[in-house]
Amino acid sequence: MSLIENIIRPDVRALAAYHVPDATGFVKLDAMENPYTLPEPLRVELGRRLADVAMNRYPVPSYSALKEKIRAQLGVPAGYDVVLGNGSDELITLLSVACAKPGAKVLAPTPGFVMYAMSAKFAGLEFVGVPLKADLSLDRDAMLAAIAQHKPAITYLAYPNNPTGNLFDEDDMVAILRAVGDTGLVVVDEAYQPFAQATFMSRLPEFANLVVMRTVSKLGLAGIRLGYMSASEDLLTEFDKVRPPYNINVLTQAAAEFLLEHVDVLDAQATSLREERTRLAAALAALSGVEVFPSAANFLLIRVKTEKINSNEVFTALLDRKVLVKNVGKMHPLLENCLRITVSTPEENRILLDAVMASLAS
């Protein structure tokens, strides 16, 4: 046996690494980023703040000032705290590690965010995927049956869901919270909350098993890698035990503290993107052979429905025109012939539309 075979877990060897394509020179519409930069006066002031950061020192691991600003600015209920992560990816990892008892399982609707399953597998947890309905809505009966059968330690509900973009029915989610009860956690992932304007954060006091997780990435701060989650004090105490002590670096901390003083600027950008989402959805839906699914996120899921060209060919044609979107057609049978497109500026949305029209006409 080789060195790799001797030391690396077989299930890890069988996995493919998470691939992020090089977008240099492309109109980048594949990663749900906010396309807007900060206004120049804020960029200058942010530069001053970052210049004063003591990069020779470790962060203060309590992150008290940053957590206080998150609680004050981002709708965390009174009396609730947050745990911070290096993006929501790290928070998902912390949850997996904290709950990785022998035989424990993680459950989530599919298609969904791939890191739920990957993080579960890395922590030695079994992942159970429950397919959505054909219209991409939550299959309540199937979810409740799976919960009864598997008694998952963690159930993820993305609100709205990625890659479909839709909000699951609130009553269905409450039914799942109640069905899980005190046998597991229900993690409501609100990564796209700035575009959905719907949240379970205010309902934390109702459900002892509820964890609400968010990131500032989609709000316009993807580059600083900051996620946060809130839950009962008892749960957060346990999660904090498996958090690395210096997981948020001093530059991220300083940038986030400054920008949370100007969250109105980020909110205005989110408003603009919601308006662009409406316009882009209407324009794409008007094209022959394109189905646009409802979205409460900053992206649109479309299906190519034409006999002469499929989504792979449209994806390739867009690449030829230097437009990068996400080809999700092979992720799950429900996503056959589907592409996921980030909503961007009016200019980039027009470039995208022109490229899609040209590909359909070719």
Q: What is the pLDDT along the chain (362 residues), one digit of tens a residue?
A: 799 888 998 888 887 777 777 778 899 999 999 999 999 999 999 999 999 999 999 998 899 999 999 999 999 999 999 999 999 999 999 999 999 999 999 999 999 999 999 999 999 999 999 999 999 999 999 999 999 999 999 999 999 999 999 999 999 999 999 999 999 999 999 999 999 989 999 999 999 999 999 999 888 889 999 999 999 999 999 999 999 999 999 999 999 999 999 999 999 999 999 999 999 999 999 999 999 999 999 999 999 988 888 999 999 999 999 999 999 999 999 999 999 999 999 999 999 999 999 999 87
Assigned domain for 47 exists: no
Do 10 and 93 belong together in one domain?
Answer: no
Assigned domain for 63 exists: yes
> Domain tally for the chain?
2
Read off the DSSP letter of residue 137: -
Do 94 and 218 belong together in one domain?
Answer: yes
The one-letter amino acid at 35: P
Measured CA to CA, the distance from residue 352 to residue 107 in angstroms comes to: 35
Assigned domain for 46 exists: no
Do 91 and 194 belong together in one domain?
Answer: yes
Do 312 and 197 belong together in one domain?
Answer: no
pTM: 0.95
Do 272 and 148 belong together in one domain?
Answer: no
Do 221 and 348 belong together in one domain?
Answer: no
Longest CA span, the chain: 61
Reduce the secondary structure of 232-274 to three states and give it as a string.
CHHHHHHHHHCCCCCCCCHHHHHHHHHHHHHHHHHHHHHHHHH
Domain extent at residue 335? 3-39+264-361
Do 290 and 202 belong together in one domain?
Answer: no
Measured CA to CA, the distance from residue 15 to residue 1 in angstroms comes to: 19
Do 311 and 297 belong together in one domain?
Answer: yes
